[in-house]
Amino acid sequence: MITKKTPEEIEILKEAGSILALFLRELAKVAVPGNTTLDIDDRAMELCEEYDVEPVLLGYHPGFADYPYPAAVCVSVNNCVQHGIPSPDVVFKEGDVVNIDMSIGYNGLVVDSGITVGVGEVNDEARRLLAATEEALAHGIKAAQPGKHIGDISAAIQTFVEARGFSLVEVLCGHGVGYAVHEEPTIPNIGKPGTGPKIEVGHVYAIEPIVNAGGKDVYFDDEGDGYSVYTKDGSISAHFEHTVAITDNGPLILTKRSSRLE
């Protein structure tokens, strides 16, 4: 069942979204040569304590994993598509592409957001990939209009990304959010207009295109950490995510940032 949030709950989610946007701006500053992915998680835990919010990914146990997630953030580097576990052994170097994905709990409600940033100077392919992925998110959000369908979001993202020569990860999707990290509906990044559940006022979605520079195929590191997902061809990947509430006036971005880095 797709839950609807009240106007009062959406106001709380908006407050939470502002906090999470601030967190991601701060965490992006840690992605510099010589730092590690664990440094990002350490900073995330500091921010959660400072702002008295819950790091809801810490201890979260999805169905595909054998153990609860052990960190506050997912930090995925280069060909790691999603769910990278922070580690002191993964050291950032110039030109890396780093995805930071975080969820927080605030006054009993949850928001979810993610960004991808370059470490120092990145190459032309990475710059184009990051720009296309962030713009694809904007197209998906714009399509999230009351009375439309989830497939309209999916199709808007797919059309934009594929026209730019990149591919979308099909096995990972956006989702409802608010009362929990993952709720109905599932929001694929490929689809047909007019299909899927109807978009209604009060719905809250985490919309998140996941885009590969190469092919769409990925694999789950079942024999490794059990969480990380990688591109099969070794190509780099990018991900941007916002929590969005559906209002009478259309989609309202609750985790809005001024840009990737600000």
Arithmetic mean of pLDDT, 108-137: 98
The pLDDT assigned to 262 comes to 37
Query: H/E element holding 44?
Result: helix 37-51
Assess whether pLDDT exceeds 60 at residue 260: no
Q: Are strands 73-77 and 218-220 parallel, antiparallel or unpaired?
A: unpaired
Residue 23 in any domain: the answer is yes
Residue 143 in any domain: the answer is yes
pLDDT, tens digit, 9 for 90 and up, residues 65-91: 999 999 999 999 999 999 999 999 999
| Position 257 confidence tier, pLDDT thresholds 50, 70, 90 | confident
Residue 261 in any domain: the answer is no
The pLDDT assigned to 70 comes to 98
Residue 227 in any domain: the answer is yes
Residue 260 in any domain: the answer is no
Residue 225 in any domain: the answer is yes
Residue 90 in any domain: the answer is yes
Residue 128 in any domain: the answer is yes
Assess whether pLDDT exceeds 50 at residue 41: yes
Domain that holds residue 249: 7-253
pLDDT, tens digit, 9 for 90 and up, residues 196-232: 999 999 999 999 999 999 999 999 999 899 999 999 9
Looking up residue 210, the CATH number of its domain turns out to be: 3.90.230.10
Arithmetic mean of pLDDT, 180-204: 98
Q: How many domains does the chain have?
A: 1
